[in-house]
Amino acid sequence: MTKYTIKRLLQSLVTVLVVATIVFLLMRMLPTDYYFTEDQVMKLTEEQKNDQLLAAGLLDPIGQQLLRFYGQLLHFDFGVSRRIQTGAPVLKVIGTKFAISMRLGCTALVIALIIGVFLGVMQARHKDRIFDHIGTAYTIFVNAVPPLVSYSLVLAFGAHVLNLPTLYSTRNVGKSSILPIVCLALASIAHYALWTRRYMVDELNKDYIKLARIKGMAFKDIMVKHVLKNAFVPLVQYIPASFLMTISGSLLAERFFSVPGMGPLLTDAITRYDLNVVQTLVIIYAALGVLGVFLGDVLMMLLDPRIKLADKGGSR
């Protein structure tokens, strides 16, 4: 089991490294003019520009630049921001914003997991009855309607009925976080409900449930002791996916509620050609995604005894 975990961990690291390399190479393909602000492009002579580029190491052969980039990665040195906060280390620029995004994202994820799984369980229990139909309608609505529309509905409801702040503010973090978190959770709730219901119904139709009933087990006990755990195993795989979804959702939701998080930062950095920031953000997103998949695999392995076989080479 440890061997398997280590193997998967190494694979994950390689994946992140590949992503970092590709992003780095793509960024170096941009014309070097973007290194300068518009002002500088106008004022500086070709020679001056050349000197600055040379000093920054941008004219070195690409292989050499890549090696240097790897070296910096090893020290968690992601360079400095050139536009957004000129001269500040990228990590510092991202740091506070990352914390905000993660706090919103993780809260939304936990809420979604609890509500979504609960909703799915109830739907499976009352399959084909009114509760199930309402749940399905919700799932379809959230998936079919563009997020901006559902966000607007949440915003309208939150602002007019519940009197909640519609813009994020650092002075009132708790209250002003509610609406963004709800919006972030909307889609994840639908996903968890959908998959929980699906896997529980799947499990409920299996023969071992019949045997459990034959041996005299109460339906409620069967639901908890047999169905839920078994349905949760395939469900665990979706947690990383929804983790990603919550993050990518934040690109939109954070902008919508003016949250000073990582989402708006990425679009900002791209429009303003702050290459080091873009590069770092993409690597962070990739690392989060890979981490999610890795954790999903490890969780699966902990929950499902059949997977441990991969370790022993399928002994029987």
Q: Helices (H), strands (E): how many in the chain?
A: 15, 0
Residue 233 CB, nearest approach to other proteins (Å): 7
Does position 299 bind other proteins by CB under 8 A?
no
Segment near other proteins (CB under 8 A); pick from 49-57, 61-69, 266-274, 298-306: 298-306
Residue 230 CB, nearest approach to other proteins (Å): 5
Residue 261 Cα distances to 66, 105, 169, 267, angstroms? 29, 10, 12, 11
Widest Cα–Cα separation across the chain: 88
3-state DSSP assignment of residue 79: coil
Does position 268 bind other proteins by CB under 8 A?
no
Is residue 102 a contact partner of residue 108, using CB atoms and an 8 Å limit? no
Residue 246: both structure tokens together = 């919550």
Does position 306 bind other proteins by CB under 8 A?
yes
Among 210, 224, 267, 310, binds other proteins (CB under 8 A): 210
Does position 129 bind other proteins by CB under 8 A?
no
Does position 298 bind other proteins by CB under 8 A?
no
Does position 130 bind other proteins by CB under 8 A?
no
| First vs last C-alpha separation in the chain | 16
Does position 216 bind other proteins by CB under 8 A?
yes
Nearer to other proteins, 70 or 208 (CB): 208
Does position 106 bind other proteins by CB under 8 A?
no
Does position 211 bind other proteins by CB under 8 A?
yes
Give kind and range of the element (H or E) at residue 78: none
Cβ-based burial of 95 (10 A; exposed 0-12, middle 13-18, buried ≥19): exposed
Q: What number of chain residues touch other proteins (CB under 8 A)?
A: 24
Does position 215 bind other proteins by CB under 8 A?
yes
Determine the length of the chain: 316
- One-letter amino acid of 30: L
Does position 287 bind other proteins by CB under 8 A?
no
φ, ψ at 93 (rounded to 5°): -60, -45
Does position 208 bind other proteins by CB under 8 A?
yes
Please list the residues that pair with 89 across neighbouring strands: 80
Nearer to other proteins, 192 or 232 (CB): 232
Nearer to other proteins, 63 or 314 (CB): 314
Segment near other proteins (CB under 8 A); pick from 48-56, 86-94, 134-142, 202-210: 202-210
Does position 43 bind other proteins by CB under 8 A?
no
Does position 310 bind other proteins by CB under 8 A?
no
- Tally Cβ neighbours within 10 Å of residue 295: 16
Residue 309 CB, nearest approach to other proteins (Å): 8
Is residue 204 a contact partner of residue 227, using CB atoms and an 8 Å limit? yes
Rounded CA gap, 238 and 232, in Å? 10
Does position 303 bind other proteins by CB under 8 A?
yes
Residue whose token pair is 């002003």: 176
Does position 201 bind other proteins by CB under 8 A?
no
Rounded CA gap, 105 and 211, in Å? 42
Residue whose token pair is 């929950």: 303
Rounded CA gap, 191 and 109, in Å? 11
Does position 313 bind other proteins by CB under 8 A?
no
Query: Binders of other proteins among 223-242, rule CB under 8 A?
Result: 225-226, 229-230, 233
Binding footprint of other proteins on the chain (CB under 8 A):
206-208, 210-219, 225-226, 229-230, 233, 303-306, 309, 316
